[in-house]
Structure 1
């Protein structure tokens, strides 16, 4: 009887431990980043001309999620040394010692191959090739080459996160057209002000880890100026689908509003009370708000495009 009681008492602990380990493996896939990647890929698929069977469409989205997660996993394996000295990443599974680096690398490589193979079989091999290219770009170009060498790491490396709309489009059509390239350009231009807003208030972390983010190399004042410049490029770029007749006035209205909102936040970042070096005197409140709004901006822009396309398909708008 006592043996049964002991086993019953330890069972919840065992279940809790198993669930904790599963959470750690899932955390390796960078689920927050994956969410945005999946969403932009889904919109690329929804606005593409033609038709894809819902089951195959779901498989394609799963492959995009799997590929993004696999790339994130390999990134965590490679960056485990710098993650260990940054406050916001020190508790990740690898630097915290909960998952062995070799196991994480194997996990990422296997998922990468699986995602590309499944994408090719479920949709077409052109989509599989674009997915493979996005994974390779993120791992080798951004993570292993750019991130530790240049303050332009986010600018060039931003291409990795801009591939999903193209992948979603190609999964349906088998080819690339103007609209997915514009969506690529929007995400590409969005990435620097998004991440530089984050890096302004995570400056100490990047400096401690020796990562040459723009605020560490060029200072906070130059970073604020660059956020403004890239946002000035991003705002009209977001309106381009409407100007070229690839989207309607519903999308255009959202693009104007969201672009103006991002410009407002960029101006707040530029004008925030700061010392001569551009370091905030009030804790980078404006940068934090700009970072949060940037997420809303991209999600809103892509949502508006999907809604506009749906209304046009129903004949509600032309």
Structure 2
């Protein structure tokens, strides 16, 4: 049986090692489109909230580069983790563990799209945005996927930084710099990531245990994980109000962020009070779903607010 210390190289006889003739849909799945949608939306929010203006075509190009880099990182992540994916019910039917795409093809696509997205961002937009984009890809692939996920329960805490860069990239595409305002947008996603993924880990605990991935519920237990989730939501709620204090957003955003933060805290309290064994982690599943809505909604509020104020 493969465990967390096993090389990502699948055995020669396994479907993941052989690969097949993947369809367009299989290759698109490698890009993790649902994750990409969050990345693209938060990047667009950073672009819209930034002071100044960018030509619509250049703005589209910047968002396209963010999307391609996100998908490329996802493909490389799937290539490296195909042994783990084959052990988990949630991921065993992905194109690589199911043998529909050859590992070398997935890796080649990921590397090619990374180079194209960073190069295009630098040449068409600016090299500050391109540099942050390149670092975000490096962080997700090397720091998180290779260096953290298999070896520490802090994988999500530290690795969450990778998914927090897109609004900074969108901001830098317009301004060509990094500011406290863009760092605040980064911090919102950074603090959102642990409770989001730990909610998933609570009801997918056996999957992670089987694969040997040291997610927090596996190594520290459910009770400790739930306390950590509540702590992060309590810190996130006031931090999400900072864009108004810094002048990045106005009262429309402030009102939405306050309500959304309160509901996030409430969902964490419900998880705390739930006996997961008897309820099949119903509250954790609901919190996971709400966490996705939260991130979309808070950045949608930022976009609406910026549009209303004519930024």
Q: Do these two structures clear the TM 0.5 threshold for a shared fold by scoring above it?
A: yes
Higher relative contact order (CA 8 A, sep 6+): 2
For structure 2, list consecutive stretches of 5 or more residues without a partner in the other structure: 1-19
Runs of 4+ that moved beyond 6 A:
none
The reply on whether 1:252 has 2:254 as its aligned counterpart is yes
Residue 120 (structure 1) aligns with? 122
Q: Is the 2:181–2:246 Cα contact (8 Å) retained in structure 1?
A: no
Residue 170 (structure 2) aligns with? 168
Give SS of 2:240's match: helix
Cα offsets for 1:47-67 (capped at 9, x unmatched)? 111111111111110000000
Aligned length: 292
Q: Distance in 1 between matches of 2:273 and 2:84?
A: 32
User: What is the CA-CA distance between 1:225 and the residue it aligns to?
Assistant: 0.7
For residue 287 of structure 1, the aligned residue among 284, 288, 300 is 284
TM score, norm. by length of structure 1: 0.90
User: What is the CA-CA distance between 1:178 and the residue it aligns to?
Assistant: 1.6
Q: Is the 2:201–2:208 Cα contact (8 Å) retained in structure 1?
A: yes
The structure number with the bigger radius of gyration is 1
Residue 3 (structure 1) aligns with? none
Give SS of 2:259's match: helix
Q: Distance in 2 between matches of 1:296 and 1:58?
A: 24
TM score, norm. by length of structure 2: 0.92
Residue 188 (structure 1) aligns with? 190
Residue 6 (structure 1) aligns with? none
Give SS of 2:279's match: coil
Alignment of 1:141-156 (within 5 A): 141-156=143-158
Q: Distance in 1 between matches of 2:260 and 2:277?
A: 25
The reply on whether 1:311 has 2:305 as its aligned counterpart is no
Residue 11 (structure 2) aligns with? none
Q: Is the 2:50–2:248 Cα contact (8 Å) retained in structure 1?
A: no
For structure 1, list consecutive stretches of 5 or more residues without a partner in the other structure: 1-16
